[in-house]
Amino acid sequence: MHLKAVVFDMGDTLILNDRWDYDNSLRRLLKSLQRDNVAVSVPFEDFRRVYFEVRDQLYEKSESSLEEVDFRLRIAETLKRFNYELSHESAIINHAVEGFIDAFIEDSRMEDYVPFILTGLRDKYKLGMVSNFAHAPSLWRILRHFRLPRFFDVVVVSGELGLRKPHPRIFEEALKALAVTAEETVFVGDSLKADIYGAKRVGLKTILVENVGLRKNPFAIAGELDPFPVEPDSRIPCLANLPAALNALQSS
C-alpha cells in the first residue's frame, strides 16, 4: 500500500481534553456576559441548566442531520429563554465565547512528543486535520496556542463547512485539498462513530487511538452500546505508536 497522506482528528487525539471542566468554561462565559450587562441577575445554576437543555436539543438535531450548528447559537438561544434577544453574531456573544475557550485551553493539554511525531511525519506524508468544532475561530485559537498550524497542509472544520463527521463530505473536502485519493490516505482519531466509521465509508484506512479521550467516549465501546460497530485497520494506545502503525500499513 502506498500511503501519501495522514489526516487527524483534533479533540482527544492531538489535543487531550480529559481534564476539561465544562462548568468552569460556562462560568467564564456567563461572567463575560454579565460584564457586558447581560444576564446580570441570572444565577449560574439556572444558566447552566438552560444551556444544557439548549445544547442537547441542538446536538440531537445535529446528530440526525450531521449539519453543524454554530456554537454561538447555543448562547443566543439560552439567553432568549431568559428574555435577552441578541444576535449570535453580536460582539457580546463573541466575547463570551472567548471566555469559554480561554478556560477550555487552560484545561487542555498536548503530549510533549506530539510535535516530534508530526515533524517526522511531514517528511513522508501530506498532513491534514478534520475536526468537529462548532466555532471555527475558536478551533484556530486552540491550534495556534499549541503551535500546530505549521504542521498541516489543510484543516477542515465542521464550523466552516457546515457539516459534521461522520458526514462523507467533510472527509472528501480534506482529500480534495490534499490532492490525494482515499486509498492513499489514513485517518487517525479516537471516535469509532465520527472518525473510524466516517472515514471508512469514504474509503480511507483508519487508525484508532485508544487514549484517555476514548475511555470517556460511549461510541468506543464495542457491542450493544456501539451503534457503529466498525473495526479500524489498526489500534494504538497513543500517538507515540503512530509511526510504527503507519509503517505496518505501508508495508501491508
Same domain, 117 and 186: yes
Please list the ranges in the chain whose pLDDT falls under 50. Answer: 214-226
Same domain, 236 and 118: yes
Same domain, 72 and 174: no
**CB 208 within 8 Å of CB 242:** no
Q: pLDDT for 203-222, tens place per residue?
A: 999 999 987 554 444 444 44
Q: Which helix (H) or strand (E) holds 99?
A: helix 91-107
CATH number at residue 210: 3.40.50.1000
Same domain, 162 and 239: yes
- Set of cell numbers at residue 9: 482528528
Of the candidates 212, 231, 222, the one whose C-alpha atom is nearest the C-alpha of residue 11 is: 212
Q: Which domain holds residue 196?
A: 5-17+110-250
Tell me the β-bridge partners of 126. Answer: 5
Residue 15 DSSP one-character state: B
Q: Of 107, 125, 153, which residue constitutes the final position of a domain?
A: 107
Q: Of 90, 107, 124, which residue constitutes the final position of a domain?
A: 107
Same domain, 153 and 187: yes
Statement: the pTM of the whole predicted model exceeds 0.75: yes
Same domain, 164 and 87: no
Q: pLDDT for 145-155, tens place per residue?
A: 999 999 999 99
Structural domain total, the chain: 2
